[in-house]
Every structure is written in structure tokens, then in C-alpha cells.
């Protein structure tokens, strides 16, 4: 524990002297290691310690937040008083009785990254670098990065919640650059999870490196993507960027309550094709968006957001749940002690359906097959979203045709989800850092192979040619 | 806070850490940043959230036999600093040696006006009032502006200190402030988002009325969007959109990207990389520039660097490492995102120089084309290949006049092609943070619609 329970109580009491009706302290100690290789060199070996505390006081619908990385008792008491005073109102002396919530699931880290010699981590990075370069002579640059983080948190609030937790995450990334002297293309692969060094038992760095390099080289031979409306098949292995953008953000309760979501006020309504079920689940072992407790001390859970096309629920944190007199769904997350928690996704996915993924492609006359999605963005207010196609192919007469590059898909969340006419029985995960209000948190996204009869592909008009 | 006294104190601490880390012939560099931040968020004329922060951290870089090691800490206790030094030295042992790894010598620094005392002296209630006024102005500007997505005022005051074992020992302090609003305009079933924002070194420059009205205008003018067919047509980017594109180009102008074969501009110095009307400049001492500083993250004086002149590439941005590798002088672009990272090559105040055409003239000369006011998914553009494809918000132009907003439209292309096909540059240079650009008109682009 980063602080004794009695000290935490004193800090929360000081925070409520000013008059707020809820106080919380989030203490964090984060140790990180990072190794990066580029240009065939181990360029950087980093390690760091970042610790601090965020104190939050809520009064009615209003929040005051303060943070410091001076973790002396005096400094925290002072920050608590300042924050409490800014919240205003009449002072209260809460009766705090500690209760320690139990998580809905648990996990064991098999190989703590702080017990793995740094040489072993460096060797992993080197192996991946070499493997990527060996794929093709047109690979001109490779960057490989390894990172691990051990985050210890203590969360205590005036309702008596007291949680201490340790989150361990490892991540590995390979970015390959290929050039034929005329054009440059890139390929990216990553693996990561709420787990220790055992990440590499399931994910071979050499295999990841080959996949990234292979994609970069294939994209050199790709033709510019066509432009306009067409049928789109998103492969299960493509990752879950689309569902994250198309509806995930719109189901976060803060955006819903502020009427900033197209899904506001639609609980119980049909918002997607009956083939579509969407779930947010923090309790899938080892996934990048998983956790035992969220950043407010609420146990992580599995929440069905859309069932058979009907909107079931939104994702809540403490504050948005309180506004509706209900319980949080364990989606209160923050990037660090510097940030106040907001509703965020964990691992979000479209549940698998019944169709054979191969048959979906076979039964598509003409269209675009997305084999890998890149990043995306959504305007939650009207549901318009875009995402980048990192690897795509034309589908011609039910066959996978030539590769295309430079495509972006744009659409409207509810419109696209209503149109989905095939859902495969596979499920492919991707991981990433989701940005919202300037805060990045680790998330997982997934979907089965799905088909959308019509989407706008942002590409290049054919008559322009290549150059 | 007593900034001059604190700056002196942190510099002394940085020097002390350097001395300890540089034992036995190692080179060492300590970088400290300490600051105070304030952020106020308003909704419906109420303070929805208020955040105050005090933060500090130290990043330590050591070079032993050409190998770089790095460690950072926010704990300034003697034992934590000692451990950080040990860690940085241990990390160096794992890195690949490179003879170009070195630290810069001390130099003279310019004096810049970076600290407006008004930012610190203005009472909290006046800052809250400023944010509220932005929201009032946005609502008053048009009745269809119904939702505030966010409306905020923020400022930060900071001290930077850098010391190294070659004798660099420098410090400065500064402050900046900013305000923004994101609103939603609603008409029937449709809603559209618009924003207004401004960041400045001087509090007096923040004009709440202008920020609020701009947010409203940007949202309202997108209401009633219609689909357009897929086609090729001239496209005008307003300054905000041009800034977004400049942000994609900027990493390719850094010497490390060039040296690693990852830049679009590699091997193109003295060649034409853009239309003759294009000039791109990075200026680390620009008066009033949000990224202005007397020295960069390594203690090298900042400077004005012309990157593209008349469409011809003049050179690249350097930090100490890339300069040593190239045998040139650092341009003072050793950028540090925070104390948690080693100095990379980054831009300071980078901008596309203003032209002499008014934005109205740019529109008037288009018979059929697209005026783009915002983009969706800009971060998916690939700065290495230059390929981009983004969703856009904007207005259709017919016979030199706006003919209504468009929806469900994407534009795609390659950034090099785009730079070469800029046919006119507007006079309306506008900075968004530390990146600035005017409106530009591009001869023809692929527009994906229905």
C-alpha cells in the first residue's frame, strides 16, 4: 500500500472540509522500461519512475481535481484542502468505513517483467529487427520497440472504497518500411496485454516482425485504392477499430448524458442489424484493455451494450452512474494520477455470428476486403467515423484480387451497423491506445468477419494513375 | 511561486545530478521541468470541472563510450536521484555504441519575453468568467447552437533547467494560456460540431467573443449537408485544415527521419518539393510563438530555419546527434516532449508563410470545388509514405460562391503531390498552438462521395 489507511482517511476528511459531497484519492507509482531499436541499433534503453496522487472532490455535478507528485503527507493534505475549498459548499465530516471490494476475476502474472534480465528484453528486440530485415531486400528501415509498465495504485474514497492493485502490462511493436526506390510503404504489427513476459510465449516476436515486413512489401505492389461507394468485407483478423469508432465511443455515458451521442435516449431501441451484439468486457484474461479494478476501485465487468441489434446499456463511471442513481459499470478509467476518470471502453467487440468467413468473401461479387485496420476517429455527435485500411484487397467475383493502398473507410455508425448483412463465426482482436479528452488508455477491440453492403471508400480516382 | 528563485534552485539540482552521474569519464545531462497548471471547464455557465496541478520531473541522459542510457524520476529525494543515476548508467551498457552520441557545449542564449505575469496574477474568478463568456458568445451567435461539448480555459507556468557535463547550465521560465470551445449546432435530427480556439503567451490576447462566435459559425454552417458524387475537383483548405496537413509533413523534415530513410524528403535538398508559392519555416524564437524558447531540450540556442523556399527544399531540422552524424550545426531542434524522454528532433514554431491572396479571392476563382473546414482521421495519414485519406467536413463551391455543406465525403492523395499542386496561398496565416498556416488552394484532388 502506498499510504496507510489512517492517512488516507485524514486526506479524504481534509478534502471534504470545504464542503464537497464525495472525495477520492488516487495514488500511483508507475515504473516503466522501454527499449527501442532502429537503424540496426539499440538506440534507447529507458527506465523511469513516475509517482503522484490525484485528489478529486465532487459537489453536485461539479468536479474539482488536483494532482501533485510531492507525496508527503503534508503536501497531500494541503492539496486536499485546496481542492475541497475550490469545490465550495458547507463542510462535512464523513464517517468513513473501509470496505474492500472483490474483483470479478483474477489473473496471475507468470513472469514479472521486473524479474526478467534486461539482456533478455534487448535480445528479443534484436531478433525481431533481424527477422524483419531478412524478409525482403526492399525493407529499408525497421523499428522495434518493447515496453513494460508496472503500475501500483491505491484508490480510496469517502464512500469507504479502498482498493490497492498492481497492473502489469507488456507491449511489443514492429514497424517496417519498404521502398522500391519510388514509393515507400509501411507495415505495423503489435502485441500486448495485461500480463508479464509470458506475452512472448503466445506471440513470437520473429513472427510479428515477419508479418509487419511482409505487409510493407505487399503494399509496395498494391495499386491505389478505388474511390466511391462499395461493398466492404472486414476480416476478423482486421481488428476492431471499426466497432470502437462506429459505436463504442457513442455508448460512453458522459457523451450520452451531454446529448453528444447519436445513441442518446435509445435504450431498448433497434440501433443495429439483429445480427449485431456488442460487448465491453474488462475480464478477458490477458487482453490489453483488461483489469481487475477500474481507476475508481470498481471491479471490471462484462457489459452487454447491444444485443441482437437492440441497445441495452451504456458504459458508466462513478459520476455518470450517480447522475442516474445507478451503479457504475466499472468503466471509470484515467491515463494517470494527472487525469480525472471518465467513462472509457475496455475490450470492446462484436460477438461472433454464424457465417463461414470464407463463404462471406465467396458470396461477394465485387468489393473491398479489409484485412487489417489502422487508426480511426469518430464524431460521436452525429456518428460519422473514419478508419484507415492498413491492408486491403479488391474482391472480384468472390475471389480475393489485387492489393490496394491508401484507403480510408468513412461511414455513419448507426447506418453502417444497421446495414451489416453477414457476421462470421471468427473473432480477431487488436490492441491500441484510445485517446479521449487528451487521455490515452490501453484498449482491446475485436470483431468477426462482417459484410457491409455499402460504404464510402476514400481512395484515388483511377484516371489519375500513379504519379 | 517565486520563479527566478526556483529556476536557480532547479538548475543547481540539475548540476548536482550531472556531477554525480558523470563519474569515471561518463558524459551526463540532466533536464528538469517543473510547473503549475490550471484547467477550467465550463458547461451551461457552471464550472463543471476545475483542475490544478503541481508537477516536476527530471530526465537524466548519460553517454558512456558512445552508448546512451536514460532514466527519469519524479521523486527528487536523494536516494531516488541516486537510483536514477545508477539506472541510466546501467541502461547505457545495453545500448549500441555510436560515435555521434554527444552533448552540446555551452553557448549564448537570446533573451525572449516568455512570461506574462498577468497569467499568474489574474484571479481564478476572472479566468472562470472568461470561459463563461466564450460559452455565452457561442450561444448568442446562433439559436441553433444548443450543446456545449466542452468549453475551457487553461494555463500553465513552468521552469526548465538543463545542465550537462560539458558546462551547459541554463534555465528559463515561461507561461502560456489558452481557451477553446466545442459546440454542437442542432437542426431537426441533424447535429454538427464546430470549434473555436486560441493559445497565447499573453493573456490579453485571448478574445472570448471571437473564440465563441467562431465555434458557433463553424458548427452552424455545416448544417443541412448533402452528398456529392465522387469526382476530381479543386479543393481549398482553411488555415486549420492546412495546419493539420503541415503536421503530417513536419516529421519528414526532421533529420533523424531522413537519416533513417523514413522521410519523403530524403535526398531532395535543393530540389523542388512543392509549388513555387510554398515557403515553410521553423522559428524557435518567433516573437509570441507558443513553442518559443531561448534553447532547446539539450541547451542549444534556438533559431529561425528556412525549410522550403519558393517550393525548393533548403534543409532539415537537427538536434545534436543528427547534426554530428551529418557534420553540420544543430538547428536547436532537440525537442523533448517531457522529462520522460530523450531529446528527439522536433519542430518549434513551424509555419507555412502567408501569401498575398485573400481567402475570399481563393474561393471566388473556383467554378466547382470543395472548401474544407475540418478533417476526421488526420492521424491515420502515413507520414512515411505520404499517403492520406481523410473524412472531411466542408462546403461545396459553385461559381465562386458557397453552395451549402457536404456530408459523407472523403479526400485522398499523397502529400508530395498535394504540395506540388498548391496553386495559391492565402494571406490569413493563423497559428493553432505552435503550428501555423494560411488557407491554400489545391488544383485538383480525388473526392470520394456517393
Confidence category of residue A464, pLDDT binned at 50, 70, 90:
very low
By the CB < 8 Å criterion, does B44 face chain A?
Answer: no
CB pair distance less than 8 Å for B91 and A46: yes
Q: What is the DSSP string of A314-336?
A: -B--HHHHHHTTS---S-EE-SS
A184:B264 CB<8 A: yes
Identify the residue among B336, B448, B449 best suited for mutation to test binding to A, counting A beta carbons within 10 A and taking the highest: B448
Asked if A458 lies within 8 A of B413 by C-beta distance, the reply is: no
Q: Which residue in A41, A49, A384 is closest to B73 by CB distance?
A: A49
Q: What is the DSSP letter of A45?
A: E
CB–CB of A459 and B449 under 8 A?
A: no
| pLDDT value of position B162 | 98
Q: In this predicted structure, what is the pLDDT of residue B450?
A: 82
Tell me: pLDDT of A210 over 80: yes
* pLDDT score recorded for residue B382: 85
Q: With contacts defined as CB-CB under 8 Å, which chain A residues touch B257? A: none
- Percent of chain A topping pLDDT 70: 98
| Burial group, residue A365, by CB count within 10 angstroms (0-12, 13-18, 19+) | exposed
Using CB atoms, pick whichever of A141, A410, A458 lies closest to residue B260: A141
Q: Does A353 score more than 70 pLDDT? A: yes
CA distance A370 to A372: 6
Task: Note the pLDDT of residue A109.
Answer: 94
For residues A61-87, give the mean pLDDT.
Answer: 93
Q: Which residues of A touch B90 (CB under 8 A)?
A: 118
Query: In this complex, how many residue pairs, one in chain A and one in chain B, have their CB atoms less than 8 Å apart?
Result: 245
pLDDT, tens digit, for every residue of A254-299?
A: 999 999 999 999 999 999 999 999 999 999 999 999 999 999 999 9
Facing residue for A227 by CB, picked from B48, B149, B448? B448
B323 versus A460: the higher-pLDDT residue is B323
Q: Do A460 and B446 touch (CB under 8 A)?
A: yes
Mean pLDDT of chain B: 96
The whole-angstrom separation of Cα B314 and Cα B311 is 9
Q: Does B358 touch chain A (CB under 8 A)?
A: no
The parts of chain B modelled with pLDDT lower than 70 are none
Lookup: cell for B170: 541554463
Q: Is the pLDDT of residue A466 over 50?
A: no
- A381–B184 CB contact, under 8 Å: yes
pLDDT of residue B449: 87
CA distance A273 to A415: 10
**B149 touching A (Cβ < 8 Å):** yes
Q: pLDDT digit string (tens) for B16-39?
A: 999 999 988 899 999 999 999 999
**Higher pLDDT, residue A185 or B179:** B179
pLDDT at residue A467 is higher than 70: no
pLDDT of residue B383: 85
Confidence of residue A462 (pLDDT cuts 50, 70, 90): low
Count each helix (H run) and each strand (E run) in chain B, helices first: 10, 20
> Which of these ranges, A161-170, A248-257, A376-385, has the smallest mean pLDDT?
A376-385
pLDDT for position B387: 86
Q: Is B449 on the interface with A (CB under 8 A)?
A: yes
Residues 6+ apart with CB under 8 A from B329: B318, B323
Chain B residues inside the 8 Å CB shell of A338? 53, 55
Mean pLDDT of A34-46: 95
Contacts of A42 in chain B (CB under 8 A): 94-96
Task: Please compute the mean of the pLDDT values over residues A21-32 and round it to a whole number.
Answer: 96
**What is the arithmetic mean of pLDDT over A441-452?**
97
Distance from CA of A283 to the nearest CA of B (A): 30
Residue B55 touches partner A, C-beta closer than 8 Å: yes
CB contact under 8 A, B91 and A43: no
Asked whether the beta carbons of residue B184 and residue A260 sit closer than 8 angstroms, the reply is: yes
Is B322 an 8 Å CB contact of chain A?
no
Cα–Cα distance for residue pair B331/A231, rounded to 1 Å: 50
Instruction: Tell me what pLDDT residue A1 has.
Output: 60
Query: CA B272 to CA B269: how far, in whole Å?
Result: 8
Cβ <8 Å between B94 and A141: no
Closest chain B CA to residue A68: B54
Cβ pair A43:B96 closer than 8 A: yes
Q: What percent of chain A has pLDDT over 90?
A: 85
Burial class of residue A355 in the structure, from the number of CB atoms within 10 Å of its CB (0-12 exposed, 13-18 middle, 19+ buried) = buried
Chain A residue with CA closest to B321: the answer is: A43
CA dihedral angle for residue A386, residue A388, residue A392, residue A395, rounded to 10 degrees: 10
| Test the B interface: residue of A26, A31, A47 with most B CBs within 10 Å | A47
> Using CB atoms, which residue from A44, A68, A467 is nearest to B54?
A68
Candidate from A39, A40, A458 with C-beta closest to B410: A458
Contact predicate A191/A206, CB 8 Å: no
Whole-Å CA distances, B223 to A92, A246, A415, B282, B393: 48, 21, 19, 37, 11
pLDDT averaged over every residue in chain A: 94
DSSP A189-257: EEEEESS-TTHHHHS-HHHHHHHHHHHHHHHHTPEEPP-EEEEEEE-GGG-SHHHIIIIIGGGBHHHHH
Question: Position of cell 483478423?
Answer: A237
d(CA A126, nearest CA chain B) in Å = 11
Residue A55: list chain B partners with CB under 8 A.
none
User: Rounded CA gap, A85 and B49, in Å?
Assistant: 14
Contact A44/B95, CB-based, under 8 Å?
yes
With an 8 Å Cβ cutoff, are B412 and A49 in contact?
Answer: no
**Min Cα–Cα distance to chain B from A416, Å:** 12
Amino acid at each position: 500500500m502506498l499510504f496507510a489507511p489512517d492517512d488516507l482517511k485524514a486526506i479524504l476528511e481534509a478534502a471534504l472540509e470545504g464542503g464537497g459531497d464525495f472525495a477520492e484519492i488516487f495514488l500511483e507509482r508507475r515504473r516503466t522500461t522501454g527499449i527501442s531499436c532502429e537503424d540496426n541499433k539499440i538506440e534507447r534503453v529507458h527506465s523511469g519512475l513516475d509517482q503522484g496522487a490525484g485528489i478529486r472532490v465532487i459537489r453536485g455535478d461539479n468536479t474539482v481535481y488536483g494532482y501533485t507528485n510531492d507525496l508527503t503527507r503534508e503536501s497531500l493534505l494541503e492539496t486536499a484542502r485546496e481542492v475541497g475549498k475550490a469545490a465550495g459548499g458547507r463542510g462535512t465530516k464523513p464517517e468513513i468505513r473501509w470496505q474492500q471490494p472483490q474483483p470479478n476475476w483474477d489473473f496471475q502474472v507468470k513472469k514479472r517483467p521486473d524479474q526478467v534480465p534486461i539482456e533478455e528484453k534487448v535480445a528479443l528486440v534484436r531478433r525481431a529487427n533481424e527477422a524483419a530485415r531478412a524478409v525482403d531486400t526492399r525493407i529499408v528501415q525497421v523499428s522495434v520497440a518493447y515496453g513494460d509498465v508496472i503500475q501500483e495504485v491505491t484508490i480510496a474514497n469517502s464512500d469507504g472504497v479502498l482498493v490497492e492493485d498492481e497492473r502489469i502490462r507488456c507491449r511489443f511493436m514492429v514497424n517496417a518500411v519498404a521502398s522500391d526506390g519510388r514509393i515507400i510503404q509501411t507495415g505495423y504489427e503489435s502485441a500486448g496485454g495485461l500480463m508479464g513476459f509470458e506475452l512472448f510465449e503466445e506471440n513470437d516476436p520473429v513472427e510479428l516482425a515477419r508479418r509487419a515486413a511482409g505487409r510493407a512489401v505487399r503494399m509496395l505492389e498494391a495499386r491505389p485504392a478505388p474511390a466511391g461507394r462499395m461493398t466492404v468485407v472486414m476480416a476478423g483478423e482486421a481488428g476492431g477499430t471499426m466497432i470502437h469508432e462506429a459505436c463504442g465511443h457513442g455508448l460512453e455515458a458522459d457523451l450520452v448524458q451531454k446529448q453528444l451521442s447519436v445513441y442518446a435516449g435509445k435504450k431498448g431501441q433497434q440501433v443495429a442489424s439483429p445480427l449485431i451484439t456488442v460487448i465491453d468486457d474488462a475480464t478477458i484474461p490477458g487482453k490489453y484493455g483488461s483489469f481487475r479494478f477500474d481507476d475508481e476501485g470498481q471491479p471490471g465487468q462484462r457489459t452487454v451494450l447491444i444485443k441482437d441489434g437492440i441497445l441495452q446499456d451504456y458504459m458508466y463511471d462513478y459520476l455518470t452512474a450517480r447522475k442516474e442513481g445507478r451503479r457504475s459499470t466499472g468503466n471509470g478509467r484515467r491515463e494517470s494520477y494527472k487525469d480525472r476518470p471518465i467513462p472509457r471502453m475496455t475490450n470492446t467487440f462484436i460477438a461472433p455470428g454464424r457465417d463461414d468467413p470464407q463463404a462471406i468473401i465467396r458470396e461477394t461479387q465485387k468489393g473491398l476486403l479489409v484485412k487489417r485496420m489502422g487508426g480511426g476517429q469518430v464524431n460521436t455527435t452525429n456518428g460519422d467515423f473514419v478508419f484507415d485500411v492498413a491492408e486491403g484487397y479488391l474482391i472480384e467475383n468472390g475471389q480475393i484480387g489485387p492489393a490496394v493502398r491508401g484507403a480510408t473507410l468513412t461511414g455513419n455508425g448507426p447506418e453502417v451497423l444497421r446495414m451489416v448483412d453477414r457476421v462470421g463465426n471468427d473473432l480477431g482482436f487488436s490492441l491500441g491506445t484510445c485517446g479521449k479528452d487528451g487521455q490515452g488508455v490501453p484498449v482491446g477491440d475485436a470483431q468477426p468477419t462482417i459484410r457491409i453492403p455499402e460504404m464510402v471508400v476514400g481512395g484515388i480516382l483511377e484516371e489519375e494513375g500513379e504519379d | 511561486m517565486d520563479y527566478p528563485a526556483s529556476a536557480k534552485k532547479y538548475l543547481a539540482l540539475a548540476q548536482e545530478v550531472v556531477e554525480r552521474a558523470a563519474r569515471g569519464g561518463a558524459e551526463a545531462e540532466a533536464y528538469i521541468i517543473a510547473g503549475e497548471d490550471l484547467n477550467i471547464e465550463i458547461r451551461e455557465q457552471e464550472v463543471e470541472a476545475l483542475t490544478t496541478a503541481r508537477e516536476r520531473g527530471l530526465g537524466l541522459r548519460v553517454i558512456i563510450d558512445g552508448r546512451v542510457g536514460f532514466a527519469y524520476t519524479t521523486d527528487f529525494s536523494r536516494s531516488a536521484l541516486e537510483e536514477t543515476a545508477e539506472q541510466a548508467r546501467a541502461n547505457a551498457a545495453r545500448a549500441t555504441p555510436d560515435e555521434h552520441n554527444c552533448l552540446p557545449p555551452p553557448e549564448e542564449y537570446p533573451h525572449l519575453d516568455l512570461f506574462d505575469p498577468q497569467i499568474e496574477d489574474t484571479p481564478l474568478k476572472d479566468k472562470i468568467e472568461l470561459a463563461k463568456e466564450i460559452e455565452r458568445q457561442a450561444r448568442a451567435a446562433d439559436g441553433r447552437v444548443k450543446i456545449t461539448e466542452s468549453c475551457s480555459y487553461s494555463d500553465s507556468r513552468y521552469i526548465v533547467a538543463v545542465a550537462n557535463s560539458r558546462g551547459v547550465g541554463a534555465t528559463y521560465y515561461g507561461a502560456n494560456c489558452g481557451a477553446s470551445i466545442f459546440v454542437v449546432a442542432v437542426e431537426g435530427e441533424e447535429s454538427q460540431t464546430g470549434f473555436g480556439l486560441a493559445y497565447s503567451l499573453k493573456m490579453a490576447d485571448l478574445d472570448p467573443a471571437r473564440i465563441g462566435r467562431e465555434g458557433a459559425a463553424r458548427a452552424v454552417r455545416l448544417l443541412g449537408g448533402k452528398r456529392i458524387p465522387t469526382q476530381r475537383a479543386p479543393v481549398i483548405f482553411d488555415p486549420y485544415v492546412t495546419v493539420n496537413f503541415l503536421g503530417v509533413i513536419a516529421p519528414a523534415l526532421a533529420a533523424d527521419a531522413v537519416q533513417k530513410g523514413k522521410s519523403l524528403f530524403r535526398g531532395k535538398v535543393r530540389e523542388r518539393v512543392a509549388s513555387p508559392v510554398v515557403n515553410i519555416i521553423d522559428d524557435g524564437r518567433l516573437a509570441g510563438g507558443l513553442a518559443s524558447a531561448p534553447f532547446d531540450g539539450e541547451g542549444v540556442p534556438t533559431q529561425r530555419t528556412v525549410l522550403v523556399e519558393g517550393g525548393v527544399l533548403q534543409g532539415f531540422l537537427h538536434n545534436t546527434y543528427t547534426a554530428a552524424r551529418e557534420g553540420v550545426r544543430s538547428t536547436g531542434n532537440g525537442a523533448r516532449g517531457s522529462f520522460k524522454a530523450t531529446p528527439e528532433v522536433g519542430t518549434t514554431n513551424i509555419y507555412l508563410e502567408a501569401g498575398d491572396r485573400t481567402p475570399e479571392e481563393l474561393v471566388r476563382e473556383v467554378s466547382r470545388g470543395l472548401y474544407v473546414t475540418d478533417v476526421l482521421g488526420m492521424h491515420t495519414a502515413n507520414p512515411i509514405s505520404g499517403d492520406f485519406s481523410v473524412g472531411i467536413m466542408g462546403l461545396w463551391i459553385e461559381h465562386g460562391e458557397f453552395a451549402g455543406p457536404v456530408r459523407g465525403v472523403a479526400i485522398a492523395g499523397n502529400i508530395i503531390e498535394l504540395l506540388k499542386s498548391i496553386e495559391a496561398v492565402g494571406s490569413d496565416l493563423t497559428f493553432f498552438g505552435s503550428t501555423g498556416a494560411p488557407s491554400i488552394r489545391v488544383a485538383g484532388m480525388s473526392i470520394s462521395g456517393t
